[in-house]
Homo-oligomer: A and B are copies of this chain.
């Protein structure tokens, strides 16, 4: 048994993986032999397969059903695809067509992107909206609702809007609110949200503020406004993935739907991948989410300048058409980055 793969066993392994990606059926030695133009007999292929199985690249569901690639095999396969950037023209055009800004809010743009990723990949599309704290403060606005309730609107540099309803201790007048927002906008202009938070704390310490009830109020309001909201996650195309044969069974289906109804865990995983650059791939258990067993995740970050805005990607079965999906995710991320670019 050889420890490193020979050229021949590499070829065979790839052939098995590609066939399995296509058919979702265990691959037999005969199939591979035919695929290679009979240059190798089924029996020889079988020998190689036995070796590959021993090395952990293949597994047999049962003694008389061909071989199935393991996660290790996919990892090997994906690593052999590095630098893959070629995207089919029609896919590139589709992406262009369906990424447009005008007339929509950012949320809709991202949702549409997610939908697009889903329909173009035939798996699920996922897009995580920009995390707020990384953004640059732009504008804050208070709108008086009934009673002591105030609607606060926070706009950041890249057009993300966050609004929140806040209950105040005392009733505030319309003119007060205008003054408050003027003051804050002046004070906080150009800072990132995390800087803004710090600044507000500092400001609240200041002597002179303590004696100006209005300003103190303003600061407290803005503090509440900034209290974290969960990042929004758009997952589209569940119906798509249910078409995949590996989920043709009721329990699996429920499992998936449940996994994506509460997005918390997934979000944690995605945020971990925020720090990396370029396309990232999690195969099966590599994500360390047991809910995600049997699923793979291909993601990339979208950025503006040197700020990471958010993440987008595709979720599918481990048996995923990586060679097609990786360029799609990569290209979409670039495209979205370009769209959200400022001036």
Contact = CB atoms under 8 A, between A and B. Distances in A.
Top 5 A-B residue pairs of the complex, sorted by shortest distance between their CB atoms: A146-B343, A146-B342, A239-B258, A105-B163, A161-B163
A92 interface: no
28 contacts: A103-B166, A104-B165, A105-B163, A108-B229, A109-B165, A138-B143, A139-B141, A139-B143, A141-B141, A143-B155, A143-B159, A145-B159, A145-B342, A146-B341, A146-B342, A147-B342, A147-B343, A151-B155, A159-B165, A237-B261, A239-B254, A239-B261, A242-B253, A242-B257, A243-B254, A248-B250, A249-B250, A250-B253
| Interface size of A as a range | 35 or more
Interface of A: 101-106, 108-109, 138-139, 141, 143, 145-147, 149, 151, 153, 155, 158-159, 161-167, 224, 227, 229, 236-239, 242-243, 248-250, 253-254, 257-258, 261, 341-343
A125 to B, nearest CB: 12
A227 to B, nearest CB: 7
Contacts of A253: 242, 250, 253
Given A102-B167, A105-B163, A242 B254 contact: yes
A139 B150 CA distance: 13
A101 B165 contact: yes
Nearest to A157: B145
Contacts of A108: 229
B155 A155 contact: no
Nearest to A247: B250
A161 B161 CA distance: 9
Nearest to A161: B163
Contacts of A257: 238-239, 242, 257
Contacts of A162: 105
A325 B174 CA distance: 42
A141 B109 CA distance: 20
A292 to B, nearest CB: 16
The CB with the most chain B CB atoms within 10 A, among A109, A146, A243, is that of: A146
A274 B141 CA distance: 32
A106 B104 CA distance: 19
